[in-house]
Amino acid sequence: MAKKTLHLGRPAPIPASPDEAVLDRVRNPHRDTNYVARFTFPEFTVMCPVTGQPDFAILVIDYVPKEWLVESKSLKLYLNSFRNHGAFHEDCTVTIGKKLVALIRPKWLRIGGYFHPRGGMPIDVFWQAGKLPSGVWAPDQGVGTYRAR
């Protein structure tokens, strides 16, 4: 029996840190079908662990589920919990990907962290787990490389 979700249909504050956040999962109603689910989070914020200044990014998470889906409200709360958390771009992007893989055990997952420039240089971070099943369409993440204005 699946555990009851903690957030769906209930008021829930943003957790104070990623360590305090709880991700929920729900059963995949199409376990017999390969498909890509995508979450785009255009206002991701994390604190630089050295300067304490905010860093901003667009996160794009694509995955091919097996038995479980990540529940979207809990994901939003988890991602927002990074706002006051100090982590380098690489650390938070890979940590998010690994936490999702541990929770839902997808056939395939990729995460792209497209960070806005600070100090004159953007940093983009990409991580994936598993292999995209044959015949499954995974579109480009749609976030262009940074170009100065």
Residue 3 pLDDT grade (very low, low, confident, very high; cuts 50, 70, 90): low
92: annotated active-site residue: no
Check if 55 is active-site: yes
Helices 72-80 and 89-104, axial angle in degrees (round to 10): 160
Domain residue limits, the chain: 25-71+82-115
Q: What is the pTM of this model?
A: 0.93
CA distance 74 to 96: 13
pLDDT surpasses 90 at 119:
no
pLDDT at 146: 81
| Amino acid in the structure at residue 76 | K
Mean pLDDT of 51-64: 96
Predicted local confidence at residue 11, as pLDDT: 84
Pick the CATH number of 25-71+82-115 from 3.30.1130.10, 3.40.50.300, 3.40.50.2300, 3.40.50.10900: 3.30.1130.10
Q: Residue written as tokens 């050295």?
A: 50
Summarize the confidence of residues 10-34 as an average pLDDT: 94
Confidence label for 1 from pLDDT (cuts 50, 70 and 90): very low
| Cβ neighbours of 83 (radius 10 Å) | 15
Catalytic residue among 24, 55, 62, 92: 55
Catalytic residue among 48, 62, 91, 92: 48
Query: Which tokens sit at 113?
Result: 């962290």
State the Cα–Cα distance between residues 124 and 119, nearest whole angstrom.
14
The residue-averaged pLDDT of 119-145 equals: 94
Q: Distance between CA 36 and CA 4 in Å, rounded?
A: 24
* pLDDT mean across residues, the chain: 93
